[in-house]
Amino acid sequence: MKIFRQKKRAGFDLFKSLEWIASLLFAAIVAVLVAGFFPLSHPLFTRYAHSIINKIDLDTCNVGKVKVAFWKGVTVYDVHVSESEENGLKYELSLSRIRINCNVINVIQKWAQIKKKYRLFCNSFSQDTKDSNELINQLLKFAAQSEQINNICIDGTTMKILKRDTSLISAERFSLDVFRQQEKSEKIELYVDVAELVYLKNDFTFLRANCLFDKGTLDISRCRARAFDGKVKISTRLDLVNKRIHDFTLNATGLNLEKMIVSANMQRCVSGNMDIDLNLFPSSLELDSMRGKGVVNLSEVSVWETPVQRALAELLENPDFKRLSFSRVKADFTILHRDTIRTDISGSGEVLDFKSSGMFNLKGGINQKVNAALSDEAIKELPGFVVNSLAVDENNRCAVRCRIFGTFDEPKVELDREILKKAIGNVFEQMRENLKGIFRKN
């Protein structure tokens, strides 16, 4: 009996041991699988990420920490880079986080292939630094062809592009999310969100945009921002390979004219609110080749002490023309080329209602034919011979017809020939009557 009991106890212990070993192995496998979803941090990861980023040949590159979750992806924290070029351009970028969603084990298995693509990308990227369109195309093309990566999310704190220490572009608190539209698809979606963007001293806030990149074409839709106290919406399609722009539309409402003029470093001479709709025709991305048409609506407009107003005030001998107010102004315009814009403008105001047509030149040139109907109050302040010389419009109001040409800084005003002829006749008639009066007294 004793021998039998010992054998039975020995068999029971062996079975239990195997059971425990199997349980431990299963628990270890589960632990490894579960651990793959939780991020791990190690100095080795950080050093390796630093070496990869540094292959773009940057002036400075600092990486704070790297965390790896084997089944979810890699997260890089506190990235600071800068680069200076011989032409005076300087780039500074501070990112709080770069999150790359992918299966890290799968990436490790295909690492040799990925490194080869990355080296080719770095070489082509560094060669195209002078062409911003090609830079964007190369970056998005590389993201579209990286099949092992599901999406990339970038959270940034600051971004600056300077030229000779003068800020060209700066951004604060921004994010960029890049998603593959479908698995193994080269179509990628981009979502941009910027708390504040300053471009050439123009301040944009709450900027958001949805984009789709497919084979060198970038569709930008629902791009919205606040600027100059108003709202701006833009949509367009950019062919980055052939460097062409298609279907560009801009809609802006409630813009503050005075703030726009201050931002452009122009003399403060206009205030009011502006709405604008602009459509550009398909063309090259070069500014000189862009054509388009649009309409501008202004409300509660005040214009004071412009050279054109001073010229009119001197011509009509009425200082009230130095400050004019309009309840509304509408301008239909066509961009003929970069420098010349054809316009048809109309406006209603306290002193005068007007219509004008002609050309503006962005270099400062002006050539407009103006027909202005004067109010009764304005006519009372004019000399008699001037009033008697004016034409009468369809509403039986006295009107000034003239041509304004030259430049905005030094405009010239030329009265309509009929008005001028009549005015000269009235002057001589007034002189004749004055002479008669003198002889009668004598």
Asked if pLDDT for residue 5 goes beyond 60, the answer is no
Most confident of 26-30, 215-219, 396-400, 425-429: 215-219
**Which is more confident, 297 or 29?**
297
Neighbours of 156 (CB within 10 A): 19
Q: With bands split at pLDDT 50, 70 and 90, how would you rate the model's confidence at 87?
A: confident
What pLDDT score was predicted for residue 11?
47
Burial bucket for residue 133 (CB in 10 Å: 0-12, 13-18, 19+): middle
Q: With bands split at pLDDT 50, 70 and 90, how would you rate the model's confidence at 309?
A: confident
Q: Which two tokens stand for residue 169?
A: 């572009």
Q: With bands split at pLDDT 50, 70 and 90, how would you rate the model's confidence at 397?
A: confident
- Provide mean pLDDT across the span 291-295: 93
- Provide mean pLDDT across the span 342-370: 89
Q: With bands split at pLDDT 50, 70 and 90, how would you rate the model's confidence at 124?
A: low
The average confidence (pLDDT) of the chain is 79
Q: E-strand spans in 85-201?
A: 89-102, 149-163, 166-180, 188-199
Region at 364 (left for phi over 0; alpha for psi -120 to 50; beta for the rest): left
Q: Please give the backbone phi and psi of residue 241, each rounded to the nearest 5 degrees, phi first.
A: -75, -50
